[in-house]
Amino acid sequence: MAEITLPQLGETVTEGTITRWFKKIGDTVAADEPLFEVSTDKVDTEVPSPIAGVLTEIRVPEGDTVAVGTVIAVVGDASSAPAPAAAAPAAVAPASAAETLASSQVSAPEPAPAAPAAAAPAPAPQAAPAPAATAPAAPAPQVSAAPGSSVVLSPVVRKLIAENGLDVSRIQGTGPGGRITRDDAMAAIGRQGAAPAAAPATTTGTAPAPAPRGVAPRVVAGSRDEVVALSKIRQATGIHTLMSKDAIPAAFSVVEVDFANVDSTRLRLKEEFKTAEGFSLTYLPFIARAVVDAIKEFPHMNSSVGESELIIHKYVDLGIAIDLDYQGLLAPVIRDADEKRLRAIAREVNDLAVRARSRQLSPMEISGGTFTITNNGSSGSVLTMPIINQPQVAILSTDAVKKKPVVIEIPGGGESIAIHPVGNLAMAWDHRAFDGAYAANFLVKVKSILETRDWSSEV
């Protein structure tokens, strides 16, 4: 018999939601055969069974969120297959895997004796091959919201509630038995602005006091409104970016780049490149190549702020922000981008973008970046102030390239006006890591590389 735990799905991932079980209790499963699907704040991933055998227990139903390391199922040998469902009480066996989200039958059984009537009711036991007394221990321990409280919370939910000052009594649980889930807590954070609600006015006839700073006004949907639930990736993005805005003294710098030099190579070779590679050659790989080269001269751009220290990374794992058809944003990583030339970078950008939009990235491919580029120009933006992707110290926005009149130097001296492709490179950066002169000179270096390098050998 083997206990199946929720694996570590990326270095910053601490929990996951079981979105689908591919097997039901009593089914045979082969080693490395997909057993369940888990959704994190970054990706959805199919997780294979580490061993062959029979699925004897499902301890975490579809829709539940648990911490990494939680035992979620048990796989045993054929002799440990559970008794037929008919032997169990009729109310216990779920009719189908799809119904497990709304039921508590698949939760681990509570140990005897039963809890007192005043306590929250224990979930009904699941059919098992052995008496409940011999069942393995329940998954991740749950703790009450406060001493003497009957509200039961998972460690993940309790942490969210504690960190954001939420009032448990104001949160309506949607989990089995009315349990408060991670999604319920996230929704409460969105409603209350990640802080306790302001106390009501106590003086009759006076206007209520203004809400404290940082507390979002409560919004109630009306009959003319449409309510759209925020996806997990939208909620996670909101929390992560809000944390970044609160924690980082962000500054902003911009340079204007003349892309005529890039276009002299890009346009000349674009048909040949597309025929050979199967995708178009855009400005993004040129910019990415210039960024990783400029980092060699300005290494603090590629760092993280620690405890009274700056941790400078001696490699460049370049994140490229990818839009998921307006449904969210991911930043998959080009590993060791500083060791790759332009064509290799272009291939990886295209591959990561295609697999990101089809939800085929692994957790490790979207974590661990040291510097991020977000390509807002592909949507037509001409100037964007992006939010830093912690724990990085800078993020660069590549905005739209448009034809504009520019002043150019002509051979033999003098100046003239010409129409060139021009675009902005806009960077948000962490003022704790360096100052404006350092950030500005880094951008000037990137600009110089783009405007003067002979790119023919790179393509």
- 338: pLDDT strictly greater than 90: yes
Segment 435-449 mean pLDDT: 98
Segment 432-456 mean pLDDT: 97
Q: pLDDT confidence of 173, banded at 50, 70, 90?
A: confident
Segment 412-420 mean pLDDT: 92
Of residues 114 and 297, more confidence is placed in 297
Segment 283-294 mean pLDDT: 98
Query: Of 102-116, 139-153, 417-431, which has the strongest mean pLDDT?
Result: 417-431
Least confident window among 42-56, 105-119, 201-215, 433-447: 105-119
Predicted pLDDT of residue 192: 66
Cα–Cα distances in Å, from 224 out to 219, 221, 227?
Answer: 14, 8, 10
Predicted pLDDT of residue 102: 37
Predicted pLDDT of residue 42: 63
Active site residue 435: yes
Please give the CATH architecture assigned to the domain spanning 141-197. Irregular (4.10)
The verdict on domain 250-452 having CATH code 3.30.559.10 is: yes
Predicted pLDDT of residue 79: 63
Query: Of 8-17, 47-56, 209-218, 261-270, which has the strongest mean pLDDT?
Result: 261-270
Q: pLDDT confidence of 81, banded at 50, 70, 90?
A: low
Best CATH choice for the domain 1-86 from the list 2.40.50.100, 3.40.50.300, 1.10.260.40, 3.20.20.140: 2.40.50.100
Predicted pLDDT of residue 177: 63
Q: pLDDT confidence of 315, banded at 50, 70, 90?
A: very high
Predicted pLDDT of residue 12: 57
- 450: pLDDT strictly greater than 90: yes
Per-residue buried b or exposed e for 174-213, using 16+ beta carbons within 10 Å of the residue's own CB: ebbeebbbbbbbbbbbbbbbbbebeeeeeeeeeeeeeeee
Predicted pLDDT of residue 410: 87
- 143: pLDDT strictly greater than 90: no
- 110: pLDDT strictly greater than 50: no
Of residues 437 and 143, more confidence is placed in 437
Query: Mind listing the pLDDT tens digit for each residue in 349-398?
Result: 999 999 988 888 888 898 889 999 999 988 899 999 999 998 999 999 99
- 366 with 312: CB under 8 angstroms? no
Segment 427-434 mean pLDDT: 96
Segment 93-111 mean pLDDT: 40
Q: pLDDT confidence of 111, banded at 50, 70, 90?
A: very low
Predicted pLDDT of residue 303: 97
Domains of the chain: which residue ranges?
1-86, 141-197, 250-452
- 404: pLDDT strictly greater than 70: yes
Q: Is the peptide bond before 363 cis (omega within 30 degrees of 0)?
A: no
Q: Beta-carbon neighbour count of residue 139 at 10 Å?
A: 22
Active site residue: 27, 313, 431, 454, which one? 431
Segment 263-279 mean pLDDT: 96
How far, in Å, CA of 157 to CA of 297, rounded?
A: 45
403 burial type by CB count under 10 A (0-12 exposed, 13-18 middle, 19+ buried): exposed
Of residues 266 and 151, more confidence is placed in 266
Active site residue: 27, 77, 336, 435, which one? 435
Segment 334-351 mean pLDDT: 96
Segment 298-308 mean pLDDT: 94
Segment 110-114 mean pLDDT: 44
Of residues 449 and 40, more confidence is placed in 449
Instruction: Please tell me the total number of residues recorded for the chain in this structure.
Output: 459
Radius of gyration of the chain (CA): 27
Predicted pLDDT of residue 197: 40
Least confident window among 42-46, 168-172, 281-285, 447-451: 42-46
Strands laid side by side in the 44-48 sheet: 44-48, 34-39, 15-21, 65-67
Query: Mind listing the pLDDT tens digit for each residue in 230-256?
Result: 877 777 777 778 888 888 899 999 999
Mean pLDDT of the chain: 80
What's the angle, vertex CA 247, arms to CA 241 and CA 248, rounded to 5?
90
The residue written with tokens 């579809």 in the block is 62
